[in-house]
Structure 1
C-alpha cells in the first residue's frame, strides 16, 4: 500500500468534512434544545468510531489499533462514515454539497484502490 502524502492529506480532509457534516446535520435538522446536543454529539460519535476501530499494522495510522478489526470491517466503517457525511448533508437539505461530497469521495476511492485492496486482504 502506498503512503502517498497527498492521498493521506486528502483522506484526512475527507474525514474532517464527513465529521463536520454530521454536526451540520444535527444543527439544521433538529429543533432546540436537541440541535445544541447533536451538533456536538454526532461528530464525536463519528470521530470515536473512526479512531477506535483499526486494522493492526495499518501504516497510515501508526500501525496501532485501539480495537483491532479485520480490513473488511474497517473498509465498511470508512465507507459508512465518509458517505454517511454526504448523506448527512443531503438530509440537512444541502443537496449540492452532498453531491459534491459524493463525487469527491468516489474519485478518491478510485485513486485509493491500493488501500482498498490492502484492506480487503488484511
Structure 2
C-alpha cells in the first residue's frame, strides 16, 4: 500500500489543518464562554477520536488500534474530521481556505486508491 511521500505529507498537513479549522469554528461562536470551550474542545475531541478509533494493522499508522473499527467506519471518521475542519475555516469566515482545504482533501483521497480499497475491505 504505497503512498507517495508528497501525499503522506499532504495528509499529515491536512490533519493538522483540520484541527485548526475546528478550533477556529469554535472560536467564531458568538458567546464568549462557549467560544473558549468550543475552540479547545472541538479539536481535542477530533484528535482523540482520530487516535482512538482505527483499523487494526493499518499500515498508514502504527498498526495499533486502541479501539478497532472497520475500514468503512474509519474512512467516515476521517472524512468527517477533515471536511469538518474545512467547513470550520469556511464558517469562521476564511472561505477560500476552507474551499482550498476541501479540494486538497479530495486530491489526497483521489491519489490514495490503494488505501481506500484496503480500508473498504477491512
TM-score range, shorter chain: over 0.9
Query: Partners in 1 of 2:113 and 2:85 — Cα distance?
Result: 21
CA deviation profile, 1:82-120 (whole Å, cap 9, x unmatched): 111111122212211111111111111101111111101
RMSD of the alignment, in Å?
1.2
Partner of 2:45: 45
Structure 2 residue 30 is the aligned partner of structure 1 residue 21: no
> Which residue does the alignment assign to 1:65?
65
Q: Is the Cα–Cα contact under 8 Å of residues 29 and 91 in structure 1 kept in the other structure? A: no
Figure out how many residues of one structure are paired with residues of the other and give that number.
122
The two structures have a TM-score, normalised by structure 2, of 0.93
Shift of 1:42: 0.7
Q: CA deviation digits over 1:41-71, x for unaligned, max 9?
A: 1100111111110000001111100000000
Question: Shift of the alpha carbon at 1:3?
Answer: 4.4
State the secondary structure of the residue aligned to 1:19: helix
Counterparts of 2:27 and 2:64 in 1: how far apart (Å)?
33
Supply the distance in 2 between the matched residues of 1:7 and 1:96 (Cα, whole angstroms). 21
Task: Name 2:96's counterpart in structure 1.
Answer: 96
Counterpart contact for 1:15–1:82, Cα < 8 Å: yes
Q: Which runs of 5+ in 1 are unaligned?
A: none
